[in-house]
Amino acid sequence: RHNGTMVGKTKALSTNLLYHSGYEIAAEMGSELGIDEKDVKVLQEKASKLREVIRERFWLPYEGFYSYFEDEEGNPIKTMEGLGESIALLDNGFETDPDRVAKIFENTHTTEYGLPSLWPQFDHSANPHNDIAHYYHNGRIWPFVQGYWAMAAARRGNITAFTSALISLEELAEKGRTFAEFYELNSTFPSERRRQLWSDTGYLGMIYQGLFGMIFETGGIRFSPVKPEQQFSSSIALSNFRYREMVLTINIEGSGSKVSKFIVDGIESDKMNTLVPCHLTGNIDVYIEMH
């Protein structure tokens, strides 16, 4: 414990996934800025190679999810990490195997109040409250992790997983009248962790990127909503959403995860092309019908 040399030899799932996303985003930024194509290709190749290694070394075929980390000897431990599983699913280009996607949703552990940060819990020390490593993320529910899980479920069109994550976090917030930094599995939380901004934004992410389905791309915002039938009225709206030089008003009719009609400022687009281009300005009305 507390052996920096040993810890330095471990390799975490979420950290490597963030590096993978970083390479991909850097390549896109480079293309937008007109940097040398060779430099863009180098970044793309790094992303591709890292993706291959992560998928090969972190996947646990018998457990049906990605390992939390490789230990100092290069062995993947049989523990899941909520954030890592979420990031793997959130990037459609990372996990392209439908069977793996289905298994992650099926086998990732959830509780009455949501997705624990790590599971199963590691053994507690004799004095867990004096050892932050044992009580901080160990089997607790972190709203920002729940937010990523919900957004990933929405991105994959899994309305059941999205709805469960949304309801669970709303129940936690209502019980404590706040978005705490983290929660015990029984919904309680330490008083000194009562307020946390990234917990608030985790919930907002569920609404913006889940319920209203915003996917922020180089060319604008693409919409792919996931709207549960039982939790919302037939019509919902989001007003005064500022994006670049626009102020968006978004109305969604119906429920489900499939777009049947997409209209921007009165002009209907192909339902497969749900992009609001980034060059638009002023007040923009978006109307979406779901089924």
At position 197, the amino acid (one-letter code) is L
Q: What would the mean pLDDT of 262-268 be, rounded to a whole number?
A: 96
Per-residue pLDDT reduced to its tens digit, 85-139? 999 999 888 999 999 999 999 999 999 999 999 999 887 655 555 665 556 788 8
Q: What would the mean pLDDT of 17-37 be, rounded to a whole number?
A: 96
pTM value is: 0.92
So what's the pLDDT on residue 129? Answer: 58
So what's the pLDDT on residue 122? Answer: 81
Per-residue pLDDT reduced to its tens digit, 195-254? 899 999 999 999 999 999 999 999 999 999 999 998 899 999 999 999 999 999 999 999
74 backbone φψ class: left, alpha, beta (φ>0; ψ -120 to 50): left
Angle, alpha carbons 195-154-77 (nearest 5°): 75
For 215-291, which CATH superfamily applies? Maltose phosphorylase, domain 3 (2.60.420.10)
Per-residue pLDDT reduced to its tens digit, 180-191? 999 989 998 888
Task: Find the helix or strand (DSSP H, E) in which 48 lies.
Answer: helix 37-57
Per-residue pLDDT reduced to its tens digit, 133-169? 556 788 899 999 999 999 999 999 999 999 999 999 9
Pick the range with the lowest mean pLDDT from 3-7, 53-57, 175-179, 222-226. Answer: 3-7
So what's the pLDDT on residue 132? Answer: 59
User: What is the overall mean pLDDT for the chain?
Assistant: 93
Q: What would the mean pLDDT of 24-36 be, rounded to a whole number?
A: 96
* Statement: residue 56 has pLDDT above 80: yes
**Long-range contacts of the stretch 170-174 (C-beta < 8 A, 24+):** 170/203, 171/113, 172/113, 172/114, 172/141, 172/143, 173/203
Q: What would the mean pLDDT of 37-58 be, rounded to a whole number?
A: 98
Task: Find the helix or strand (DSSP H, E) in which 105 lies.
Answer: helix 98-107
* Statement: residue 193 has pLDDT above 60: yes
Give residue 270's pLDDT band: very low, low, confident or very high (50, 70, 90).
confident
Percentage with pLDDT > 90 across the chain: 81
